[in-house]
Amino acid sequence: MQPIRQGDVILLPVQEVTGEMIPHLTLAEGEVTGHKHRITQGEAQLFNKDGTLYLRVLSETALLTHEEHKAIPIPQGYWRIKIQREYEPEGWRYIAD
């Protein structure tokens, strides 16, 4: 499987998911707009392990939505969630959504 990107959120395929299950399916929330990258359709679980989020898609696909981006189907499997960063002369920073 290939990585999947929606705005500043990148999903990277992994072999397995462990960690503490989180009772929601919001992968990231914008600091500026309050918009959310979240799973709105399909069956999925979100986990936190040492501050890193992991997604497990149980159904054939799950739909990743955001108010400013096209919805993306995420295939069944295990995914590590990363937030894109950019480099400025002052150092690395997370992209504000």
Report pLDDT digits (tens) over 29-47: 866 566 789 999 999 999 9
Domain housing 59: 4-94
Q: Between 17 and 61, where is the model more confident? A: 61
pTM of the predicted structure, to 2 decimals: 0.82
- The CA radius of gyration of the chain, in Å to the nearest whole number, is 13
Length of the chain: 97
**Which pLDDT value is given to residue 1?**
83
* Better pLDDT: 90 or 9: 9
CA distances from 42 to 16, 50, 59, 70, 85 (A): 19, 26, 6, 17, 28
Q: For the CA atoms of 35, 41, 43, 45, what is the dihedral angle to 10 degrees?
A: 0
Q: What is the number of structural domains in the chain?
A: 1
